[in-house]
Amino acid sequence: MASVRAVLIDIDGVLTVSWEPLPGAVAALREVREAGFGVALATNTTSRTRASIAEVLKAAGFPVRAEDILTAPAVTASYLADHCPGARCTLLNSGDIGEDLAGVTLVDGEAEDVDVVVLGGAGREFGYPALNHAFGHLQRGARLVAMHRNLYWRTEDGLQLDAGAFLAGLEQAARTEAEVTGKPSPAFFEAALARLGVGADEALMVGDDIESDVLAAQRAGLTGVLVKTGKYLPETHRSASGTPDHVIESFADLPALLGASAEQ
């Protein structure tokens, strides 16, 4: 921890719930910035573009800019450009993220000639017809690229199903394995570190998802910090595949953790 120069922060469940700031989160982020730490908001959120996320967070008082935000859709666009140049892609996602998928050739899900099925975040769009069209494309040889494997997320109405629940079914039915671009993909953390200009041993990741945020970051060489907000559940913590480096009650406690480490 003494070598930490930058902080990666999940948004949903860590800074906000249903885009409303969690207690103490605004002040804590400001304190982290004023202490000189690099900041990147590393999120699997697929319902908004980077620019719109920045606007919502700024309106809530968070000191952030669009360039501070790294989203699964933005990383997915880079991945598709590198691994599937020119591919015809069909997107199944809840929310308008076209701005962050610049350069990706998107076609309607009912089109016959589809090279890649791209799965974003779940919502009303994930009905039987859309999922069945995706299944058909996969049976005909299309690749499956998923922005994340999140099973659920927390809203003001409680936990809600996310795309990972549908992804597992598509993989089994089509006998294929998705290429995952967002967290917990190592490529996602590599992109965040490159943006911050630090090594893995100089960064920590703060998240409410013990597997996709915290333990995935630790496998990539970062320090992992689990917060007990958002989707955090004691039973998920107990049954996790590993142990977080640090556990704090909420993001409001992060400045104290960083400060104590600096003093040591």
pLDDT interval class at 1 (50, 70, 90) = low
Provide CB contacts within 8 A for 14, sequence distance 6+.
Answer: 22, 25, 206, 207, 208, 227, 229, 230, 251
Averaged pLDDT, 72-99: 92
* Per-residue confidence (pLDDT) for residue 14, from 0 to 100: 97
Please tell me whether the overall predicted TM-score, pTM, comes out greater than 0.85 for this model.
no
- Which pLDDT tens digit goes with each residue over 173-226? 999 999 999 999 998 999 899 999 999 999 999 999 999 999 999 999 999 999
Say which range, 120-134, 148-162, 179-193, 199-213, has the weakest mean pLDDT.
148-162
Residue 260 has pLDDT above 60, yes or no: no
User: Could you give the CA distance from residue 95 to residue 162 in angstroms, rounded to a whole number?
Assistant: 13
Q: Which residue has the tokens 């997915």?
A: 76
45, 11 Cβ separation under 8 angstroms:
yes
User: Could you give the CA distance from residue 192 to residue 10 in angstroms, rounded to a whole number?
Assistant: 12
Tokens read off for 264 = 């040591």
Residue 154 has pLDDT above 90, yes or no: no
Tokens read off for 63 = 């000191």
Burial class, 175, CB count within 10 angstroms (exposed 0-12 / middle 13-18 / buried 19+): exposed
User: Could you give the CA distance from residue 264 to residue 254 in angstroms, rounded to a whole number?
Assistant: 16
Say which range, 47-56, 95-104, 118-127, 162-171, has the weakest mean pLDDT.
95-104
Say which range, 51-60, 83-92, 95-104, has the weakest mean pLDDT.
95-104
Mean pLDDT of all residues belonging to the chain: 93
